[in-house]
């Protein structure tokens, strides 16, 4: 089963009287249930535009995006918000934690939005906190946490409501190498153990090497696709570097 299905999407910026700029064209791909897919590309290649469209933050000019069986391009207003609240989890580069809420409250937020009972909320938050090793810092405010801890809290928030898919937008971008590695290992683990589908947007080959498949975007089009298959992570890393070498030409 495909959790994400993208058909022929195109995104053009600029209104009638302005100069048009084609950010995306002919994008076609799918993500299978439980797959860990990476999207790579240089700055300005259209990665973020694509992610915004997938997560309903932006609409394509034409084409179709189906997530968990729903055509998200047809959603309107509150439907769009509700869709994000239920089906999607986000991890951003700059964590995007609310600094006036404790770690616990940040993680609990998506469940509060769904109107869950406070006892259910507490159970779910504690469960995910245990999995991500956050039990000790649940009462802390984000300003009292390190970058790595913040990103783990953000991951917990993205996963607590068991979304259909987890979107990561350069989640390791603001982390030191040790924290980055720990986060990626966690993502790999939840992907493997809990069958969570993940779509990771990055330009960092190391982060990408944790994925099972990588799509390369160049000038708004999918240029190349490679699969990890049975090779080890370091072999796959080398393969990515090789692809980037040819890709840049």
Binding site for another protein (CB under 8 A): 55, 57, 77-78, 81-86, 88, 90, 96, 98-101, 105, 108-113, 115-116, 118, 121-122, 141-143
Which C-beta is closer to another protein: that of 5 or that of 96?
A: 96
Nearest approach in angstroms of CB 236 to another protein is 31
Which residue, 111 or 182, is less far from another protein as judged by CB? Answer: 111
Among residues 27 and 111, whose Cβ is nearest to another protein? 111
Shortest distance in whole angstroms from residue 78 CB to another protein: 5
Q: Looking at beta carbons only, is 95 or 216 nearer to another protein? A: 95
The rounded distance, in Å, linking the Cα atoms of 110 and 89 is: 9
**Shortest distance, position 101 Cβ to another protein, whole Å:** 5
- Min dist CB 134 to another protein, Å, is 18
Report the residue number, 141 or 247, with the smaller CB distance to another protein. 141
Least distance between another protein and beta carbon 141 (Å): 5
């Amino acid at each position: 089963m495909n959790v994400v299905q993208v058909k022929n999407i195109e995104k053009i910026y600029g209104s009638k009287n302005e100069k048009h700029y084609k950010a995306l064209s002919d994008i076609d791909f799918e993500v299978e249930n439980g797959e860990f897919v990476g999207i790579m590309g240089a700055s300005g290649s259209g990665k973020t535009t694509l992610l915004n469209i997938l997560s309903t933050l932006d609409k394509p000019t034409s084409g179709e995006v189906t997530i968990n069986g729903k055509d998200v391009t047809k959603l309107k207003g509150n439907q769009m918000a509700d869709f994000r609240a239920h089906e999607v989890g986000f991890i951003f580069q700059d964590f995007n934690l609310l600094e006036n809420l404790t770690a616990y409250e940040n993680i609990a937020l998506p469940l509060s939005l769904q109107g869950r009972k406070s006892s259910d909320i507490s159970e779910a938050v504690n469960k995910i906190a245990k999995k991500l090793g956050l039990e000790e810092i649940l009462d802390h405010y984000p300003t009292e946490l390190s970058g790595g801890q913040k990103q783990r809290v953000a991951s917990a928030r993205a996963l607590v409501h068991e979304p259909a898919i987890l979107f990561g937008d350069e989640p390791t971008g603001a982390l030191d190498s040790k924290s980055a590695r720990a986060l990626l290992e966690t993502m790999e683990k939840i992907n493997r153990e809990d069958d969570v589908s993940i779509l990771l947007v990055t330009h960092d080959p190391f982060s990408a090497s944790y994925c099972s498949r990588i799509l390369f975007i160049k000038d708004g089009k999918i240029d190349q696709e490679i699969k990890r298959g049975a090779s080890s992570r370091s072999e796959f890393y080398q393969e990515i570097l090789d692809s980037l070498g040819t890709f840049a030409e």
